[in-house]
Every structure is written in C-alpha cells, then in structure tokens.
Amino acid sequence: MAMYPCLSLPSLSFPSVSGAVCSFDSQYAGLPLKAHTVAVTATQSGSGTPSPDNVRPISGYSAINISHSDADTSNPTVYTITIGSTVYGGEYDAISGILTVTHYIIDLGDLNYTYMDNTFRSPLSSLPDIDTSGFSLCSGYKFYSSSGGQTNYTYRFGATNLVIKNTDYTNPATFKTNMAGIKLLYAVTTPQTIQLPPCPIDTLEGVNNIWADTGDTTLQYIKLG
C-alpha cells in the first residue's frame, strides 16, 4: 500500500486594522479582504464654539471614495460609490454594499416652539426616530450635558422636548424665523439601510494602504502562517 507523507497546511488568520489609513503587509497579491467597513461621519467647518453668531456648517456625503495604494500613497487607485442622497452618519460595508444610515439632519427653522423658563422647546416627536442618547451635533448651538442650569446658546434633549437656550429672543415665532438655516444632526433609534454596489478590493503583494474620504476604515485581511 502506497504511503503518503502528511502535508502541513499553513495556519490562517485574519488580523484587524482600523484607523484613518489602514496599513498592512500582504504575502500575496490578489487576496480578497475578509471584512471591510467605512465610517460615514459628518464634518463641521469653521472653528470655535458653535453659536448663532458663529455658525459652523455641517456637511455630509453623497459619495464614498475609497483609495488603495502600495507604500507610495501619492497615486492610489480610487473607487467611487455614489450614494444617491446626502448621508450625515453611518457605515458602509464594502463587502456587501450595504450602507447603514445612523443619523438624520433637520433645519431648526422647520420646527415649532414654545417659550418656557427662558428656553425654547420643540417636541421630540418633531425629530423622527430620535435617539437622545446618541451622538448629536448642531451648527449654531453647543450640546449641553451638565446637570445645572442650562447656559446660553446651548441645546439639550429633555424627556419630551428639544430645549434650546437663546436669550436674544422671547417670542417663539421670531425665534423660529431666525433659526432658519441652523442644522441639527441627531442619532436615530432604527438605522435605515441602503443597498449600494459593493467595493471588492484585492491585496497587493507587500505594503497595502486603504482609506476613505468619509471617515475611518476597519478591515480584516488574510494572513497565512
């Protein structure tokens, strides 16, 4: 009976890398990534504390640009995934093509207000599917998280209302008019999904650098041995 030597197969692992730029060494070219996700994170231009006199615009993304290069990052291959709408917060799975949208944005001038205790209040029901415990951002007010009396030019989420303090006004209608163009970004309790084209990326032999223009990247690559 013929005898065959035992063949020892190399071990297989899937190291994870995360950050603004994911750098790793691949032993072979042409290996697919095990996992690959990209954050879609809104940006806020300007500097200083947001206030009605220092509006800091919030920008989202209508496309995701993923770049892949070797050690020389000056001339990467760029893959563009068009979203079809503007997204201000979420995560794109480049393997499945699914974009999970986790944040919405509204114009404070579209809400209706009442005036109480030197603050303006709008029902949380006016903010569809809001998750008050999630990350939020406003172009004209700072988030207020302290337990004491609310300071001027800040916003917070009460039990039933969005509460904004601006001592420049006392009339709700005048306040509403002057809030036009001030944006509030908030987290939602039920993220929505959008099916986009996947973006498969195969490794280069040696150094690989992968990043996106919408936020941090997280990936797993194949390692043998």
In a domain, 76, yes or no: yes
Kindly report, residue by residue over 155-171, the tens digit of the pLDDT.
Answer: 999 999 999 999 999 99
Q: Which of 103, 7, 64 is nearest to 211 (CA)?
A: 64
Helix (H, G, I), strand (E, B) or coil at 46: coil
In a domain, 40, yes or no: yes
Is there a single domain that holds both residue 95 and residue 124?
A: no
Whether the predicted pLDDT of 4 surpasses 70? no
Is there a single domain that holds both residue 81 and residue 156?
A: no
How confident is the model at residue 225, as a pLDDT? 74
In a domain, 158, yes or no: yes
Is there a single domain that holds both residue 55 and residue 163?
A: no
Distance separating alpha carbons of residues 113 and 118, to the nearest angstrom: 12
In a domain, 1, yes or no: no
From residue 196, alpha-carbon distances to 11, 82, 175 in Å are: 34, 8, 40
How many distinct structural domains can be found in the chain?
2
DSSP 8-state class, residue 33: P
Model confidence at 1, in pLDDT bands (50, 70, 90)? very low
In a domain, 160, yes or no: yes
Distance separating alpha carbons of residues 171 and 163, to the nearest angstrom: 15
Is there a single domain that holds both residue 130 and residue 161?
A: yes
Is there a single domain that holds both residue 24 and residue 93?
A: yes
Kindly report, residue by residue over 101-145, the tens digit of the pLDDT.
Answer: 999 999 999 999 999 999 999 999 999 999 999 999 999 999 999
Q: State the pTM of this model.
A: 0.92
Q: Are 191 and 100 in contact (CB under 8 A)?
A: yes
In a domain, 26, yes or no: yes
Is there a single domain that holds both residue 84 and residue 115?
A: no
Residues contacting residue 215 through CB under 8 Å, at least 6 positions apart: 38, 39, 40, 41
129: left (phi over 0), alpha (psi -120 to 50) or beta: left
Q: Tell me which residue range forms the domain holding 82.
A: 14-104+192-224
Q: Starting from the edge strand earliest in sequence, which strands make up the sheet with 183-195, in order? A: 16-19, 217-220, 35-41, 89-93, 98-107, 183-195, 137-138
